[in-house]
Amino acid sequence: MKLYKINKLLVVRLSSLGDILLTTPLIRSIKKQYPGIKLDFLLKREYYDLLKLNPNLNKILIYENEKEKIKNLKDEICRNDYDAIIDLQNNFRTLLLLKCYGSSVTGFKKRKLDKFLLVHFKINRLKEAYSIPERYAEIIDDIELDENGLELFTDKPPGELLKKNKDIIGICPGSKHFTKMWLKDYYIELGKLLEDNGYNVALFGGADDKIICTEIEERLTSAINLCNDNKILQTVADMKQCKVIYCNDSGLMHTAAAAGIPVIVFFGSTVKEFGFFPYKSRNLILENNSLSCRPCTHIGRSGCPKKHFKCMREITPYLAFEKLKLFV
């Protein structure tokens, strides 16, 4: 696809948190190089806040999984007369949604076969480890990404508790998948090491992370629990007050990167070859490279298929604490 003849462009990425944030370098670079393009974006309603303040977008279209609303959305897309559509979701749902545009739709190549070979046979055809933003940009022939990272614009001030504290280290302990989550007890031990060394601990998470954040808070002396009901604009405002953030391979890892904060990330069942690592931000990935069973998935699992979970268990809290010296 070439952009020099395009006046109106739609980018489609319905979900999820990290995947949508990873589109922001492409959005920004398109507008930098082709400021005259009217650039619209289609996503699910629950992710609207991720882009609602993004100055590079002309309009945000909302996908809701109800028959009548889908019909209305199809009609709106067809009426908008886009010159081209970039489908970064590229699944059966978006193919049906965008079929009225036919060959004007360019889909993202997910490299499913390469991921399958790496997970199941350890045949690595992803050694170049391109980041997802770089792979998104490959769709467009005449675009070059700039040197900046992810963006998440917020109009929220940081919480009052954060303003009263200094030397704040963030912890994001949650994940949708067990095998992508460093152990809760390890986060607690890490939190105690941080407190013993004069740091203040702030806990971050969304609606699904309330239990684990509360359990960690109760085991620490003075942790600030900032877990909320998926109020992402408040979360990113609060993250900006941290010196470093510890996190799993999750959407909040990308949120912290978008906040411009150095991240120390625990990679368990997944590997950076899949492209979902912190993009153009100061970071350190902690992973156990001695295991022949990694990766055991490209998404995440509900349990370790080998029952030992060494990919996370052998990354100790003391090691994680020692690595903080690289950033503070």
Distant-in-sequence, close-in-space partners of 308: CB < 8 Å, separation ≥ 6: none
pLDDT for the residue 225: 97
Structural domain boundaries, residue 215: 160-326
The domain total for the chain is 2
DSSP state of 237: H
Same domain, 132 and 225: no
pLDDT for the residue 219: 98
pLDDT for the residue 226: 97
pLDDT for the residue 140: 94
pLDDT for the residue 55: 98
The pTM assigned to this predicted structure is: 0.96
Residue 78 located in a structural domain: yes
Residue 286 located in a structural domain: yes
Same domain, 12 and 65: yes
Angle value at C-alpha 291, between 135 and 293, nearest 5 degrees: 70
pLDDT for the residue 165: 87
Same domain, 64 and 106: yes
pLDDT for the residue 102: 82
pLDDT for the residue 223: 97
Please give the Cα distance from 159 to 131 (Å, whole number): 32
Structure tokens at 103: 């060959």
Residue 144 located in a structural domain: no
Residue 2 located in a structural domain: no
Q: What tens-digit pLDDT sequence spans the chain (328 residues)? A: 889 889 999 999 999 999 999 999 999 999 999 999 999 999 999 999 999 999 999 999 999 999 999 999 999 999 999 999 999 999 999 999 998 888 799 999 999 999 999 999 999 999 887 999 999 999 999 999 999 999 999 999 999 889 888 999 999 999 999 999 999 999 999 999 999 999 999 999 999 999 999 999 999 999 999 999 999 999 999 999 999 999 999 999 999 999 999 999 999 999 999 999 999 999 999 999 999 999 999 999 999 999 999 999 999 999 999 999 999 9
Same domain, 164 and 97: no
3-state helix, strand, coil in the chain (%, to 5): 40, 15, 45
Burial of 312 (0-12, 13-18, 19+ CB in 10 A): buried
Residue 145 located in a structural domain: no
**CATH at residue 45:** 3.40.50.2000
Residue 152 located in a structural domain: no
Please give the Cα distance from 288 to 113 (Å, whole number): 24
